[in-house]
Amino acid sequence: MGPIVSQPEPLTGRGMAWGGLIGLVRHAISTAMNPDNDLPNHFELLATDGAARTGRLTTPHGVVRTPAFMPVGTAGAMKGMHWREVRDAGADIVLGNTYHLMLRPGAERIAALGGLQTFTGWNGPMLTDSGGFQVMSLADLRKVSEHAVTFRSHIDGAKVELSPERSIEVQRLLGSDIAMQMDECVRLPAERADIERAMQLSLRWAERSKRAFASAPDGYMLFGIVQGGDVPQLRHASAQGLVEIGFHGYAIGGLAVGEPQAVMLAMIDETGPLLPKQRPRYLMGVGTPDDILEAVKRGVDMFDCVMPTRNGRHGVAFTRFGQVNLRNARHADDPRPLDEESSWPSTRSCARAYLHHLVKAGETLGAMLLSEINVAYYQSLMQGIRDAIAQGKFEEFYRRTREDWARGDIAPR
């Protein structure tokens, strides 16, 4: 991967470029005169500790405590888990996938059956992505134009067109509390020209997405998505353009797509200060507990990732000791639980030997137990983060959590 393009020298002192100064002044005046285009704000910032924030996001289906981690139910189901377990683990909000749900069972069918919450039985806040990630991940099956993305369905090969307008229409039919603008995400590393083209296209699609969302009922939200890859100047242009358009919240997209963690964190550092403090900030597709802790430290409010359930299906548990691989033979004769101090029943009661047996035998129950254990750990981590920020003790929590991870799992018997 090529080096990160360095940020231009600060526009201060005698070396200030007049063109840059004029642009900054215009942006400041525009934002001051019309912050977020006077959109209603459903986010309440309750406390800060350094850049870390805790707040409350009110949706038509309930309140989301932030920082929040959204477990991913791609096709309207949490793999290996019942929705009540997701709720009992502490999740306030989950994520659904526009692309997959529009193909099967179909957005119109879900709408006729009462919307995604009623259809699934989740009945809580839900965010849907726009399908933009599939623009990247299904590269061999799609074609991007100014108007739309044309897919070949991975199910039956049928031709499907997804435009910003259709993406919003599908998300409104699903009835999600938070919809995402249509965007194009570029896998890193990539050439700057490709990153800039996708970023500019995403800005134009952002405007179209907002126009298409204009008729949504009060209380429902649309988030814009900052693109720009690993190029600071492009991240700045994207963030400023989105703020001028105005959204209920702002996501940082196009990260955790192949770049090192240091690059991801650098792009958060570049982007966060440009986003309105009074609006929620969402880092898409992230990630590991370490990624989340570092991003919270930089002012991010919302996260999602398939990792808790995907790793659970592959025999890996997340605990306060870090990741524990239950396939390892060291667990075969160990009657101890993963963490006897955990608040989650399966984490403190299931013997490592039993979990090891289930994983090695390929029993579905093993994937189910580890998935719920992992989702519960992520939610426990988020609750600890929220409490620490509210008490002004985030740095202490950050240090203690990292020390626990560094010590690693308990010694074998």
In whole angstroms, give the CA distance from residue 77 to residue 83. 8
Phi, psi of 59 (to 5 degrees): -120, 170
Q: Tokens in use for 301?
A: 């409010």
Where in 255-329 does DSSP place strands (E)? 281-283, 302-305, 316-319, 322-325
Long-range Cβ contact pairs of 71-76 (< 8 A, separation 24 or more): 71/95, 71/304, 71/308, 71/309, 71/375, 71/378, 72/97, 72/304, 72/305, 72/306, 72/309, 73/120, 73/122, 74/100, 74/306, 75/100, 75/101, 75/104, 76/101, 76/110, 76/116, 76/119, 76/120
- Give me the numbers of helices (H) and strands (E) for the chain, helices first please: 16, 16
Which entry of 36, 49, 92, 304 is annotated as an active-site residue? Answer: 304
Backbone Cα Rg of the chain: 22
Q: Which amino acid is at 6?
A: S
Side chain identity at residue 336, one-letter code: R
Report the 10 Å Cβ neighbour count for 349.
12
Residues, the chain: 413
Nearest C-alpha neighbor of 7 from the set 22, 25, 20:
20
Residue 254 annotated as binding site: yes
* Cα 118 from Cα 343, distance rounded (Å): 30
Does the annotation place 131 within a ligand binding site? yes
SS3 percent helix, strand, coil of the chain, rounded to 5, is 45, 15, 35
Q: How far apart are CA 299 and CA 270, in angstroms?
A: 12
Asked if residue 129 belongs to a known ligand binding site, the reply is yes
Dist. CA 87–CA 70, nearest whole Å: 11
Catalytic residue among 129, 177, 291, 301: 129
200 annotated to a ligand binding site: no
- Residue 306 is classified by DSSP as S
Is 133 annotated as contributing to ligand binding? yes
d(C-alpha 224, C-alpha 280), whole Å: 11
Active site residue 129: yes
Annotated binding-site residue? 272: no
Structure tokens at 156: 């039956």
End-to-end, the C-alpha distance of the chain in Å comes to 43
Please identify every residue annotated as catalytic.
129, 304
- Summarize the annotated binding site for substrate as residue ranges: 129-133, 183, 227, 254
